[in-house]
């Protein structure tokens, strides 16, 4: 009797082992994980009161679409002041040609006298001293003209430098002014809203969070024995899991494989649950609207 019981138990154990091996061979997935998206937290880049903030959680926003405005009055006034300062400096620039016109006339007359006295000395109608005096006057006028041109040039360059510095300051203010306009850096969906109209925005203060949920990623974990089956660019099957065996199937593409192993996260199940170390992979999936951030998913290689 005992021998018969032993045979029955052995047979049952064999059947259980056979069913388990068939179940592993026909397993519907090779790895599991959760879905994630590219999320960006938009923060204030200027200090000031929030004059408008047209954002609601769940709304769609376009790339660089303006969604809010921080008070711009002080910065706008600074920009106008710097513009007036530049105009004032520009009015101080000397008119070089007008300021040296008189000296040029004197030099031209002196040079004419020099040529006349050279001819008179050649004819013997004037003495050499008179010619030397005229030549000396010509040299003095030329040096005066050179000095005045140099001074006027230095003054002009100095004023031009001041104008350039003012332009740089105004460009800085205009850059700060542009940062008062709050915009989403990507096209996506507003996940969270952190502030309201009328509140005071401070540089670095989070205002909203935007995510591109049209392009999702399944972050799954595979064992070292599965590494040889996966490569970047490979097309794989991704399945969502709504619970109770419900879900949908998508085509995905492997975009990243971790180069470093890590211990199995407690919320993740792998094909070989005895493995302590796993590798993270990211699989890109086009979202049809049914995939949600944080949703559980499966991966079939």
User: Residue 14 above 50 pLDDT?
Assistant: no
18 vs 146, more confident: 146
pLDDT at 200: 96
Structure tokens at 192: 């969270």
> Residue 272's pLDDT is what?
53
What pLDDT, on the 0 to 100 scale, is given for residue 26?
54
Q: Name the most confidently modeled range: 91-95, 111-115, 174-178.
A: 174-178
What is the C-alpha R_g of the chain?
42
pLDDT greater at residue 21 or residue 182: 182
Can you list the alpha helix ranges (DSSP code H) found in 124-247?
A: 128-178
CA angle 286, 288, 294 (to 5 degrees): 75
Sign of CA dihedral 67, 68, 73, 79: negative
Q: How far apart are CA 161 and CA 169, in angstroms?
A: 12
CB-based contacts of 83, cutoff 8 Å, min separation 6: 170
User: Residue 279 has which token pair?
Assistant: 């590798």
| Distances in whole angstroms, Cα of residue 139 to Cα of each of 63, 101, 103, 142 | 70, 17, 12, 5
pLDDT of residue 19: 42
Taking CA 28 as the corner, what is the angle to CA 26 and CA 32, rounded to the nearest 5 degrees?
135
pLDDT band at 231 (very low <50, low <70, confident <90, very high): very high
**pLDDT digits over 265-298, tens only?**
655 555 555 456 889 999 999 999 999 999 999 9
């Amino acid at each position: 009797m005992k021998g018969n019981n032993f045979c029955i138990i052995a047979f049952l154990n064999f059947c259980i082992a056979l069913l388990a091996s068939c179940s592993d061979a026909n397993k519907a997935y090779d790895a599991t994980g959760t879905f994630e998206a590219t999320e960006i937290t938009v923060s204030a880049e200027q200090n000031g009161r929030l004059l408008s903030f047209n954002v609601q959680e769940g709304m769609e926003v376009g790339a660089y679409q303006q969604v809010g405005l921080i008070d711009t009055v002080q910065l706008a006034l600074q920009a106008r002041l710097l513009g007036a300062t530049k105009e004032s400096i520009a009015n101080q620039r000397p008119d070089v040609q007008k300021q040296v016109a008189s000296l040029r006339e004197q030099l031209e007359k002196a040079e004419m006298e020099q040529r006349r006295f050279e001819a008179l000395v050649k004819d013997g109608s004037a003495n050499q001293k008179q010619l030397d005096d005229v030549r000396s006057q010509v040299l003095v006028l030329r040096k005066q003209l050179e000095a005045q041109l140099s001074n006027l040039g230095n003054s002009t360059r100095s004023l031009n430098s001041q104008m350039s510095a003012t332009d740089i300051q105004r460009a800085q203010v205009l850059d700060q002014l542009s940062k008062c306009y709050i915009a989403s850096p990507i096209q996506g969906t507003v996940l969270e809203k952190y502030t309201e109209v009328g509140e005071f925005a401070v540089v670095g203060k989070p205002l909203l969070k935007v995510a591109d949920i049209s392009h999702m990623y399944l972050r799954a974990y595979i064992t070292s024995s599965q590494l040889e089956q996966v490569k970047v660019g490979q097309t794989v099957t991704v399945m969502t899991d709504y619970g109770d065996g419900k879900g949908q199937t998508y085509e995905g593409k492997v975009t990243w494989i971790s180069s470093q192993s890590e211990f199995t996260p407690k919320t993740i199940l792998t094909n070989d649950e005895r493995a302590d170390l796993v590798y993270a992979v990211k699989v890109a999936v086009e979202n049809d609207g049914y995939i949600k951030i944080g949703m559980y998913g499966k991966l079939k290689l």
